């Protein structure tokens, strides 16, 4: 194992073992900022913490290159919620969590790769400048990236390395997601003495859910109820229940149509059980289709080929910081990072995937330099 590969793996393990669920990013952000600063990078934390309801702001780090051109690499530092401490183990070249918790490779695998990328060039400037955008609160509606000012970037294009699929995939299509939150208001009563005086908010919510079409609705569209919570005690007719659902589709109009159907089901369930319901619909991220003329797409595919991978254009049913950045007018593309089973105790990533991600980033930097030289 090379010194660089060993250092990359050590960084990855260290970052994964720092707790950082959304809202608790301060420690990992401070650690990353200090280590990048020690390498000589300019590191700035923006003021997105409050707007994103995060434990820290987004980090923007810069390493100047030998030319005036810049490229940007993006990853997020937060994880999904988890119980207990993460302890990383390596078995047969694959990193996993020792316990029953997540690993955190989503997205600390990419963060570690970026840190090694700039460490390689700390003593000898890269051929083009490298910007690292490390966001917060990605796992909860891309809130960090949505609060980031893309006008602060010097790069003309960027690369979000945050898709849990085999390395080589280039995500060119992503859905629009709308969240539906319904608060059912009934009337509380003693469940054993005067149940007829109550109106059951949980029953209203259940009726609404029974009316919803959920799961995969067509090749481009899904709907889901993810949270239902309400009531105070088994002997009280519940006066409140909240249902959180979502609709996603590669067709934004279809997303709105499905969210509307979820809303209508909530209204029907409330009426059936004599309850009121307040429904709020929020677009968490807007879908996109990367145009064939995108400079980031061209550089990504050239960088993959340079690293020995044949690019494969693909669509995803998930969202990433690329959704927020593209919506803000910034040209970027989402790349696979070779992680598997994200958000579960089976989450894992191989040492080979970490090395491959690093070589792909190096390939993108080299291709960007050649493209810049060709335009001089």
Whether the pLDDT of residue 123 is over 60: the answer is yes
Residues 186 and 272 in one domain: yes
Q: What is the CA radius of gyration of the chain?
A: 23
Give the pLDDT score at 373: 82
Which pairs count as long-range contacts for 149-154, CB under 8 Å and 24+ apart, including other chains? Answer: 149/46, 150/325, 150/328, 150/329, 150/330, 152/46, 152/60, 153/60, 153/70, 153/72, 153/330, 154/62, 154/70, 154/129
Residue-wise pLDDT for 5-42, tens only, equals: 899 999 999 999 999 999 999 999 999 999 999 999 99
Q: Which are the catalytic amino acids? A: 78, 138
CA distance 58 to 242: 31
Give the pLDDT score at 4: 75
Residues 40 and 167 in one domain: yes
Judge contact between 339 and 109, C-beta under 8 A. Answer: yes
> Which burial class, exposed, middle or buried, applies to 117 when counting CB atoms under 10 A from its CB (0-12, 13-18, 19+)?
buried
223: left (phi over 0), alpha (psi -120 to 50) or beta: beta
Residues 17 and 81 in one domain: yes
Residues 248 and 352 in one domain: no
- Split at pLDDT 50, 70, 90, the class of 3 is confident
Residues 86 and 146 in one domain: yes
Residue-wise pLDDT for 141-179, tens only, equals: 899 999 999 999 999 999 999 999 999 999 999 999 999
- Split at pLDDT 50, 70, 90, the class of 2 is confident
Residues 33 and 86 in one domain: yes
Last residue of a domain, one of 233, 255, 284: 284
Residue-wise pLDDT for 212-225, tens only, equals: 999 999 999 999 99
Give the pLDDT score at 125: 93
For the chain, what is the mean pLDDT? 96
- Split at pLDDT 50, 70, 90, the class of 258 is very high
Residues 149 and 265 in one domain: no
Whether the pLDDT of residue 374 is over 80: the answer is no
- Split at pLDDT 50, 70, 90, the class of 375 is low
Last residue of a domain, one of 231, 250, 284: 284
Element (H, E) at 208: helix 201-211
Whether the pLDDT of residue 376 is over 90: the answer is no
- Split at pLDDT 50, 70, 90, the class of 1 is low
Residues 155 and 205 in one domain: no
Last residue of a domain, one of 284, 314, 346: 284
Residues 214 and 270 in one domain: yes
Residues 132 and 66 in one domain: yes
For residue 128, the enclosing domain spans 3-174+287-375
- What value does the mean pLDDT take over residues 307-318? 95
Closest CA to 150 of 165, 131, 126: 131
Whether the pLDDT of residue 297 is over 90: the answer is yes
Q: For the domain that residue 225 is a member of, what is the CATH number?
A: 3.30.70.360
Residue-wise pLDDT for 192-242, tens only, equals: 999 999 999 999 999 999 999 999 999 999 999 999 999 999 999 999 999
Number of separate domains in the chain: 2
Our CA angle for 361, 174, 303, nearest 5°, is 20
Residues 58 and 17 in one domain: yes
Residues 166 and 304 in one domain: yes
Q: For the domain that residue 343 is a member of, what is the CATH number?
A: 3.40.630.10
């Amino acid at each position: 194992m090379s010194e660089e590969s060993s250092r990359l793996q050590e960084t990855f393990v260290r970052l994964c073992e720092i707790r950082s669920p959304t809202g608790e990013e301060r420690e990992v952000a401070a650690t990353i900022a200090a280590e990048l600063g020690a390498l000589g990078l300019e590191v700035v934390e923006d003021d997105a913490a409050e707007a994103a309801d995060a434990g820290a702001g987004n980090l923007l780090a810069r390493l100047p290159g030998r030319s005036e051109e810049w490229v940007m690499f993006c990853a997020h530092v937060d994880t999904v919620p988890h119980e207990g401490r993460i302890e990383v183990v390596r078995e047969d070249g694959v990193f996993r969590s020792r316990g029953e918790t997540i690993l955190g490779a989503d997205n600390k695998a990419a963060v570690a790769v970026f840190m090694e990328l700039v460490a390689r060039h700390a003593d000898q400037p890269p051929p083009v400048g490298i910007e690292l955008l490390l966001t917060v609160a990605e796992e909860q509606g891309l809130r960090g990236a949505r609060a980031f000012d893309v006008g602060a970037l010097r790069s003309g294009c960027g690369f979000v390395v945050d898709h849990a699929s085999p390395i080589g995939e280039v995500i060119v299509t992503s859905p629009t997601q709308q969240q539906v939150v319904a608060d059912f208001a009934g009337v509380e009563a003693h469940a054993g003495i005067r149940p007829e005086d109550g109106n059951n908010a949980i029953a209203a919510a259940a009726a609404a859910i029974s009316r919803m079409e959920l799961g995969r609705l067509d090749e481009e569209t899904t709907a889901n109820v993810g949270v239902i919570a309400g009531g105070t005690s088994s002997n009280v007719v519940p006066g409140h229940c909240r249902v959180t659902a979502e609709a996603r589709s590669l067709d934004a109009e279809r997303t709105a149509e499905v969210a509307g159907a979820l809303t209508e089901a909530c209204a029907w369930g409330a009426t059936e059980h004599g309850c009121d319901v307040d429904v709020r619909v929020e677009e968490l991220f807007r879908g996109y289709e990367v145009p064939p003329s995108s400079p980031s797409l061209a550089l990504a595919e050239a960088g993959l080929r340079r690293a020995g991978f044949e690019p494969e254009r693909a669509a995803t049913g998930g969202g990433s910081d690329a959704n927020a950045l593209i919506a803000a007018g910034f040209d970027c593309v989402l790349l696979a990072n070779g992680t598997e089973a994200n958000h579960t105790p089976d989450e894992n990533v191989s040492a080979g995937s970490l090395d491959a991600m690093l070589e792909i980033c190096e390939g993108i930097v080299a291709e960007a330099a050649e493209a810049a030289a060709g335009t001089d």
